[in-house]
Every structure is written in C-alpha cells, then in structure tokens.
Amino acid sequence: MPDPTPYPLDQLAERGSAQALALVLRDRTLTFEELRKRVSLLGGWLASRAAKGDRVASWAAKGELTCLLPLAAARAGLVHVPINPLLKRAQVAHILADSGSTMLMGTKARLTSLEDEDLPPGCEALDESEIFGLAEAEGAELPPSRHDPDELAAILYTSGSTGKPKGVMLSHANMWLGAVSVANYLDLAADDIVLAVLPLSFDYGQNQLLSTWYAGACAVPLDYLFPRDVAKACAKYGVTTLAAVPPLWVQLTEIEWPAEAIAGIRRLTNTGGALTRELVRELRALFPEARLFPMYGLTEAFRSTYLDPELVDTHPTSMGKAIPFAEILVVDDEGKICAANEEGELVHCGPLVAQGYWQDAARTVERFKPAPAGSRYGGTAVWSGDRVRRDEDGFLYFVGRRDAMIKSSGNRISPQELESAALATGLVAEAVALGVRDERLGHAIHLIVRPTPTALDSEEALVKELKKELPNFMQPHVIHWRDVMPVNPNGKIDRTALAAEIGA
C-alpha cells in the first residue's frame, strides 16, 4: 500500500527531478524546475487578486494556464472550477452562478460569447493569453503551501440524472491521494510520457496530470480533432501511457498506426464505460506489448476499481477490485453487506470520497451517507446508485444503473437538461431523452418529442436550435416525433414504455 498521508495539492510540483521534463506544450516545454517557478508565479498572482476560499474558473482548451491552475489555485488557497471547453453559454452561466466564481479565465472567443448577465456579480473575466504577462509584471511568488489537506481545492461539475450540473467538492487530500493511488497501481515511473487527451474538467482528465507529476513523469496535453492526431502525437513524443474512453478506442483501432507510435506504449487505461470483448481483442492486437487497465469510477469518489491487466482475458466482464485507498462494499436494500453473487448497490468508502455537492445539501444527503456497518473506514461513504455483484473471488461485476443517466462518448449527460433545452425552444410541448446502447458511443442519445400545435418545420428548426444551445456531445443522435406521449397511471409520461418502444 502506498503512503496514505495527504499533502497540499500544490506540492505535486515539487516531486520531479529539476531538469526532467514535466510538461510538453504545443510551443514549449517545462522542466520540473520551470514548473515550480511557473506555479509559484501564477499562485502569487492569484493570491493577490482573490481572497482565500474564492472560486476561480477556467474555460479554455489545454494549455499552460489550464494545466497549471489546479496546482496554482491550490497554492493560493483558492478553489479551482474547471469548465469543459465544449460547454456553451447557458451551461457556463449556470456553473459560474452556482459556484459564485470571482474570476473566469478563458479564451477571448469563449469570453465574448457570454452576455453581461452571464457573469455573477463581482466576477472578473480575463483573457487567458494575458494571465502570465500580468503575473510576470507583478512578480509576486508563493512558496509551497502548508494548507490543511482537508481544505476545499476544486469543484468539478458533473451532470446528474435530473436537473442541471452539480458541483462535486474535492479537497487537497482527495486529489493528492487520487494521484498517489493511480500512479501506484499503474506503476508510473519518472521515464513515463503520458498523453493527456481527456478533458481537464473531468476527474480522470485532471488526474492524468496529477498522477504523472506525482511519479515525476512528463505529461503531454492534447486537444485532438481526429483520431490520427492521437497516433501522430504518440509517435512524435514517444508516449508510454494512453488513456481513453471506449468510443475513442473504437476510432483508434480503425486507423493506421505507424510502428514508431506503437513501439513505446507500455499501458492503456480505459474509463467512461466498459470495454467489449471484441474491443479488448482489437487493442491487444494493435498494442501487443501494452498492459490494459479497465477502470470504473464516479466523480463523487474519483475512482473505485481497476482490473489487473493479467486478469483481463480470464475476467473480461469484471470491474476488478478496489484501487488503493478505496473500500468497495456491495450493500442490499436494508444496508447489509451482500453475500457472494448477491446483487446490491456499490458503496465507496475511504479518503477518496468527496466532500459532497457544492451548496446542495438535499442532493448531498441522498448520495453521501454514513458508511455501512462493517466498513473499516467508517465516516461518510458514496452510495453510487449502481447495481453490482461480487463473486467468490472478490471480483466485481456491473449489473445496471439505478438512475437514468446517459453516458455517451465518455460524457455523463443529464436527460432533464436535454429535455429542458428542447422545451425552451418553444417547438415542442413534451420531451423525453433516453440513452440507447450503442457499440461505438456507449449510449446513443434519443430524444422523443411531441411538437407544439403551431410549430412549423419543427424537425429542422429543433435541430438548429439545439445546436445553438447545447455542446456537441449533448446533441441527440435520433429525434422521434410523436403526436401523443404515453402516460402511466399517475398521469406522467411513461418513460418505461418509451424506452421499450425505442429499445433503450
């Protein structure tokens, strides 16, 4: 078991050898010595512009600022709120208002897409290209902090099965121990080069940076347009570690890979959905020397389980076992620990459990509850809502989801948020969003709607309006039009009947 002692998050900058590469950007590289100086500079500037505990948001693609902010904001005693760069005005306005952010750093194009009313009172919008110039002009620096590891360090916004995105509160300890855990079970080393393709607003996207730096290794952030961009980057930088979600893995197995791109790959890590047996075979054929790590997690506790690469072939459908610092229990409806092969709810206990939902006590008490009797950690646990079973050898298997969450291309999508956007167009009177299992996407997004009596050319207009208001990953793949929606005995739309009708 690795060292379970948490430290302030910003001390991850101190881990690597001074002259070793820490970060490879599009136009420059940073050694660990340079990383430390830049984190110190950015942290000092942030501390001069905001009070301890203030929330500071970022809304930009991967670059020096977005990569360093998790450490620099933590050093300044601030709370980082990373916003997915694919989100659009309405979602960003909600996150800024809900978090009460006092600063938004983003690309000029994104900032100009916002209206004045989208910024909360007292929130300053700053062009990311100007940040380091301002910091250098002021010249204030901060040494490594001594913050209490239990202090809040970040709020990651994730969609729930109902309502708007909710903010998961992560402490320094949560994020530090998550980095330690992943670096440990992946066996990351100082000579590793990790290609960071996942969004930095996602828990594992951020952890790709943090676990890499904990190991004293080098991260290469990449915003790719096409799958071949990933292969090119692997060849160019000698990448050893590649993480992706199942839809991207499918795309990556369909392109030609140069030999030099494959030669250095030591490990593949999967999150955001289960791998099919066929996809496992294709990945093994493409990367014969790489170790494949299937993983399961939830933002409320970061990561819960992984499957040892040596067992992927013998346990192809298993979620594996608990990662370091996680205790995973299977609990029945009465709160008792389930027997082997008995289906129950996955409950995650231990120091990776987040601090709850930001300013949402009602939803916090629904998901964050006292750990079941028999937990070695005790305290607060995350009751996931996922149904699983554990076999006689301790391996976990996913059974199903209790909520109606749609998971498409590795993104968690709230059906209610999509339905609300459709209703807001005025073109439809009723709307239901459902996920239909799809081999490439995980779930394809189906939207069932009943048009308003006065709507003309509804289908084309609805598609056009949704593209204005929602990010690409939330766009429905199929729209079903109905003259009448089925209702259940309570007079509500019968979602179960609709799901059966479209094969959800």
155 bridge partner residues: 169
- Strand locations in 140-282 (E): 152-158, 166-171, 193-196, 218-221, 241-244, 267-270
pLDDT of residue 22: 98
d(CA 398, CA 319): 7
Query: Residue 135's closest CA among 66, 46, 62?
Result: 46
Instruction: Specify the pLDDT at position 163.
Output: 60
Question: Who contacts 156 (Cβ-Cβ below 8 Å, separation ≥6)?
Answer: 82, 167, 168, 170, 201, 202, 203, 206, 299
* Separation of alpha carbons 471 and 201, rounded Å: 14
How far is Cα 331 from Cα 83, in angstroms, rounded to an integer? 34
Q: What angle do CA 306, 312, 318 make, to 5 degrees?
A: 55
What CA–CA distance (Å, rounded) separates 57 from 447? Answer: 31
Rounded distance, CA 225 to CA 357, Å?
A: 33
Domain 406-502 has CATH 3.40.630.30: no
Residue 381 pairs in a beta bridge with: 349, 369
Helix pair angle (458-469, 415-424), 10° resolution: 120
Per-residue pLDDT, 150: 98
Other Cβ atoms within 10 Å of 38 Cβ, number: 23
| CATH top-level class of 187-289 | alpha beta
User: Closest Cα partner for 175 from 83, 70, 273?
Assistant: 70
Strand 428-438's sheet: what is its strand order? 428-438, 442-451, 478-481
Q: What is the predicted pLDDT for the residue at 493? A: 81
Q: Is the pTM of this model over 0.85?
A: yes
Question: What tens-digit pLDDT sequence spans the chain (504 residues)?
Answer: 899 999 999 999 999 999 999 999 999 999 999 999 999 999 999 999 999 999 999 999 999 999 999 999 999 999 999 999 988 898 999 999 999 999 999 999 999 999 989 999 999 999 999 999 999 999 899 999 999 999 999 999 986 544 678 999 999 999 999 999 999 999 999 999 999 999 999 999 999 999 999 999 999 999 998 999 999 999 999 999 999 988 789 889 989 999 999 999 999 999 887 888 888 999 999 999 999 999 999 999 999 999 999 999 999 889 999 999 999 999 999 999 999 999 999 999 999 999 999 999 999 999 999 999 989 999 999 999 998 999 999 999 988 766 667 889 888 787 878 888 888 888 988 889 999 999 889 899 999 998 887 766 677 899 999 999 899 999 999 999 998 888 765 557 888 889 899 987
User: What is the token pair recorded at 251?
Assistant: 């795309």
Secondary structure class of 10 (helix, strand, coil): helix
What residue has token string 């990448």? 239
pLDDT given at position 159: 67
Check if 187-289 and 406-502 are the same fold.
no
Domain ranges in the chain are 187-289, 406-502
CB 455 within 8 A of CB 461: yes
Helix (H, G, I), strand (E, B) or coil at 479: strand
Q: Which residues pair with 337 in a beta bridge?
A: 331
Tell me the three state secondary structure of residue 390: strand
357-365: Cβ within 8 A, 24+ apart: 357/166, 357/167, 357/168, 357/169, 358/98, 358/99, 358/155, 358/166, 358/167, 358/168, 358/169, 359/98, 359/167, 360/166, 360/167, 363/160, 363/166
Establish how many alpha carbons lie within 13 A of residue 111's alpha carbon, considering only the half-sphere containing its beta carbon.
16
- Please work out, in degrees rounded to the nearest 5, the angle formed at the alpha carbon of residue 272 by the alpha carbons of 268 and 275: 60
pLDDT tens readout for residues 374-409: 899 999 999 999 989 999 999 999 887 666 678 898
For 223, the token pair is 């915003």
Neighbouring-strand partners of residue 436: 444
